[in-house]
Structure 1
Amino acid sequence: MKIRKHPVNVFIYVQHLLGIGHLRRASLLAKTMDKAGMSVLFASGGRPVSYLDVGNAELFQLPALHAADNSFKVLKDINESIVDDEWKEKRKELLLSAFREAQPDVLLIEMFPFGRRQMRFELDPLIALAKSMDIPVISSIRDILTTHKTPGKSEWIIDRVQKDIDHVLVHGDPDFVPLEDSFPLAAKIKNKIIYTGYVVEHDQNRDPSDRTSSPEDRKGVLVSAGGGAVALPLAEAVIKAKDLSTLNNVPWRLLLGNNLPDQEFNDIVKRAPDGIIVERNRPDFCRLLSTTQLSISQAGYNTVMETLMTETPAIVVPFSADGQSEQTDRAQKLANAGVLSLLSEADLTPENLAKKINEAVQKPLFSKSGSSKSGSSKSGPSKSGSKVKVDVHGTDKTTLFIKELIEKRHKKRDIQCPK
């Protein structure tokens, strides 16, 4: 590992276990912080993603692990072997060593303690080390959390935040969906919660209020099925639904995550009908999204926000296995507002998907009339009869908060230890 010369301003820890949503959000923050003049060390614990873009931030790839399935209970290494205590101990020491060498001003942890309890073998000692070095610990979380049904789990989270976390950055908009909606005990840590707005990748060469392709320029269907085995049901439905829909004569593109095993990926490629291009996920997803006439996807944080930003008509099939409620909650709220179409996993069949596609074709496309002007704190799509306005400046607001926190820390240190 190559670490920048001291000091490292921000040490970011992110562990993606199934999909790469957390990794993408954290990478956007790292890239923006780097552009703002902060030195960033980005510690990633999931399987490497070839097109990951962290700008000039320093990437530290830990020995990779991932969840064996969507229960998230069993962890495997890059060779598909279940990790044991010895493996965990070695990885923990690598992480702690990197942190000691970096001596950062701030530790930013993705999700914990609201999630990633599987990683306590290294996160507990990492947080303890940060506290011993008087380094602020910040938890970075998405807008909606999966509802905790295990008795006492929410109380445990509150206790950990009160003891170990200095700030909780919620990458969402309280006027759209407050954290209390998915985490009722949020009021107990109200003094630590900071809403940043949604973390979304903006085209740096285009005014945020200037939407992409006009409706008449858009063509084709873009399907992003997510990562890992959870992508298969949607992919299977799509390759059968194409010829049943009124969009059977336009080009289709099906994107599958890198975590989907090659055998399953190749099988989908072989069975896809004419007119469907099947590929692995691409780094230019937003560009593809901005030029397509219809998006079909799961309802993860990044995909939904990019769909809203590009004002692309969309059908979403929220991931809801094993009690996962986050995607369904987000999709339902947006479906109720009339800005996308919702199809549940339970109702996912080629026939039902084709019906949703046909319905989407009949609905008016996004209108530019509801777009906010450049510089406004709110932005979002507008459709006939409905409007959704959300703060989409989470990357910049998060960066500004971290920068000001570091400046205060340096100022305090200079007062205590004058040269």
Structure 2
Amino acid sequence: MTKRVLFYVQHLLGAGHLVRSAIICRALSEAGLDVHLISGGAMADVDAGGASVHQLAALHCAPGNFSRLLTSEGKPADDAFKSSRRDMLLALFRALKPDILITEAFPFGRRQMRFELQPLLEAAGDATPAPLILCSLRDILQTSRKPGRDAESAAIVNARYDAVLVHGDPAFARLQDSFTEAEAIRRKVRQTGIVADLARRRWRHGVNADAQVLVQAGGGAVGAALMKAAIDARPLTLLKNSPWLLVGGNNMTEEDVLRLRGRAPEGVRVERFIADLAARLGLCALSVSRGGYNSVAEILHARNPAVIVPYAQDNETEQAFRGQLLAARGLARVVAEEYLSPESLAAAIDAALSHPPPESGIDLNGARKTAAIIRDMLG
């Protein structure tokens, strides 16, 4: 009988968590499992392969305020809304009767979703037979801002979870580097390698003299500042005559997009969204992006020259740490957000272009290894 997987993911700002989860679900489905992806964020067009996708009433957060959950209408999510969502999630669990339940990020993150995840874990524990409970976790965590948070996460793992699937290569980033209680959960950790979409094209030096410079800004006011710096940096770089594509992301306002288009000279295209953005990495002359997990996974696979400008506002530490690790290996040039200027960005672009990255040696087969680990756990 085909084993069934229920995979819960909640993206709150960008769609990165959902994109990574979809890649994993695709691999699980290809491995012969009956996969059901439950998404709690805004609807997005992702390729989950043969997995069935179930959409909860969408919730998101405003940039810089992850404690306040908002509905798709931009209203605060009240108790009635949360109760309705919880009931739908529990109904799906009871109807699907999964053999494996996977929660993305929780209990290491997504604590604002405890109103539905704690009841879900309780229902899973009470089910007969009870499913295996796993956590899907990226390799680098946001440093905890409150004392005791890491210990709380470890306690939940040890009480409720059968395993934590860490989607990273410890040769690149170790869990203990960003999670203080790693030793407490050591027996439950399974390293999978980084989850990258290996079907994408890889960059080849000198293939296309007209290749674009691809700038992925990540949206919001901070994204607009990066795109403005990129526009002003272009005439200072070795790629001043190449076409540049600047993509702001869904969180960038239309007002910002129009303002940037008015500033952009001929040869610079500004868009809010591009459907085949990841596929363009293997064709671009150089990439400028934030330091999020998915962006870095795509860059490591494509192996194109890259500049990283890590998001560092609101006390965020994850991207800056990932940038440091990349720079230490010569895999990308990094410009700290506080030092971002046309001049600093142009210098980093020329340096990256002059020294194409070496083979990383980092395990990028995380999706398939996740599927193999789960098949092995099912017996």
Question: What is the DSSP-based 3-state SS (H/G/I as helix, E as strand, rest coil) of the residue aligned with 2:7?
Answer: strand
Which one is further off, 228-237 or 191-200?
228-237
Is the CA contact 2:203–2:284 (under 8 Å) kept in the aligned structure 1? Answer: no
User: 1:155 and 1:185 mapped to 2: Cα distance?
Assistant: 6
Query: Which amino acid letter does the alignment assign opposite residue 71 of structure 1?
Result: N
User: Where does 1:98-113 land on structure 2 (aligned, <5 Å)?
Assistant: 98-113=92-107
| Residue among 343, 362, 366 paired with 1:390 | 362
**8 Å contact kept, 1:74–1:82:** yes
Deviation at 1:253, TM superposition (A): 0.6
Structure 2 counterpart of 1:279: 271
What is the rounded CA distance, in whole Å, between the counterparts of 2:75 and 2:89 in structure 1? 21
Offset of residue 269 of structure 1? 3.0
Task: Give the match for residue 356 of structure 2.
Answer: 365
- Letter of the 1:166 counterpart: D
Alignment match, 1:90: 84
What CA distance in whole angstroms lies between the structure 2 residues aligned with 1:139 and 1:155? 16
1:34 partner letter:
S
1:199 aligns with 2:195: yes
Q: Using a 3 Å threshold, how does the CA distance of structure 1 residues 268 and 65 change in structure 2: closer, same or farther?
A: farther
Report if aligned partners of 1:315, 1:357 keep a CA contact under 8 Å in 2. yes
Q: Conserved in 2, the CA contact under 8 Å of 1:18 and 1:228? A: no
Task: Indicate yes or no: 2:338 matched with 1:321.
Answer: no
Give the distance between the partners of 2:204 and 2:238, measured in 1 at CA: 22
Q: Deviation string for 1:63-103 (max 9, x for gaps)? A: 11111122312111111111111111111111111111111
> How far does the alpha carbon of each residue in 1:42-68 deviate from its partner, in whole angstroms, 9 at most, with x for none?
11111111x311112111111111111
User: What SS is found at the alignment partner of 1:238?
Assistant: helix
Q: Deviations over 1:159-198 (max 9, x none)?
A: 1111111100000011221101111210111010000011
Tell me if the contact between 2:23 and 2:48 (Cα under 8 Å) persists in the aligned partners: yes
Match of 1:160 among 156, 172, 190: 156
Matches within 5 A, 1:169-184: 169-184=165-180
Give the counterpart letter for 1:164 in structure 2: R
Tell me what 1:80 maps to. Answer: 74
- Shift of the alpha carbon at 1:272? 2.4
Is 2:211 the counterpart of 1:215?
Answer: no
Q: What secondary structure is seen at the aligned counterpart in 2 of 1:247?
A: coil
Q: CA RMSD in A?
A: 1.8
The amino acid across from 1:155 in the alignment is A
1:190 aligns with 2:181: no
Is 1:241–2:236 an aligned residue pair? no
Q: Return 352-361 or 36-45, whichever deviates more.
A: 352-361
Question: Does 221-230 or 329-338 show the bigger shift?
Answer: 221-230
- 2:199 maps to a residue whose letter is D
Give TM-score, length-normalised by structure 1: 0.85
CA distance in 2, matches of 1:78, 1:273: 36
- Counterpart contact for 1:8–1:103, Cα < 8 Å: no
Per the TM alignment, residue 290 of structure 1 is displaced from its structure 2 partner at its CA by 0.9
CA distance in 2, matches of 1:230, 1:13: 29
* Structure 1 counterpart of 2:13: 18
Distance 1:302 1:150 in 2: 26
Q: Which SS does the other structure have where 2:377 is aligned?
A: helix
User: Which residue pairs with 1:70 in the alignment?
Assistant: 64
Q: Are 1:35 and 2:30 matched, yes or no?
A: yes
Q: Give the deviation of 1:237 after TM superposition.
A: 1.6
Structure 1 partner of 2:40? 45
Secondary structure class of the residue paired with 1:323? coil
Describe the SS at the equivalent of 2:67. coil
For 1:97, give the aligned amino acid.
A
2:90 is paired with a residue whose SS is: helix
* Alignment map for 1:50-61 (pairs within 5 Å): 51-61=45-55
- Cα deviation for residue 107 of structure 1 reads 0.6
Matched, 1:305 2:277: no
User: 1:240: how far off?
Assistant: 2.3
Q: Which amino acid aligns with 1:304?
A: V
CA spacing shift, 1:190–1:38, aligned 2, 3 Å: same
Q: Distance in 2 between matches of 1:230 and 1:132?
A: 45
Distance 1:223 1:25, change over 3 A: same
Question: Quick check: 2:42–2:60 contact (8 Å CA) kept in 1?
Answer: yes
One-letter amino acid of the counterpart of residue 330, structure 2: G
The 2-side partners of 1:44 and 1:163 are apart by 25
Is 2:284 the counterpart of 1:292?
yes
Residue 345 of structure 1 aligns with an amino acid whose one-letter code is E
CA–CA distance in 1 between the matches of 2:197 and 2:77? Answer: 34
Cα distance, 1:255 vs structure 2? 1.5
Aligned match for 2:327, one of 320, 335, 344: 335
Cα separation, 2, equivalents of 1:7 and 1:81: 41
Which whole-Å deviations, capped at 9, do the CAs of 1:186-214 have from their partners, x for residues lacking one? 0111010000011110128x8xxxx4433
Measure the CA separation in 2 of the matches of 1:102 and 1:297: 39
Aligned to 1:114: 108
Give the CA deviation at 1:229.
Answer: 4.5
User: How high is the sequence identity, in percent, across the aligned residues?
Assistant: 40
Equivalenced residues, count: 376
Q: Give the secondary structure class of the aligned counterpart of 1:354.
A: helix
Q: Say if 1:7 and 1:103, in contact at 8 Å, map to a contact too.
A: no
CA distance in 2, matches of 1:120, 1:227: 27
What is the deviation of 1:137? 1.1
The match for 2:253 is 261
Flag the 1:57–1:227 CA change in 2: closer, same or farther, 3 A: farther
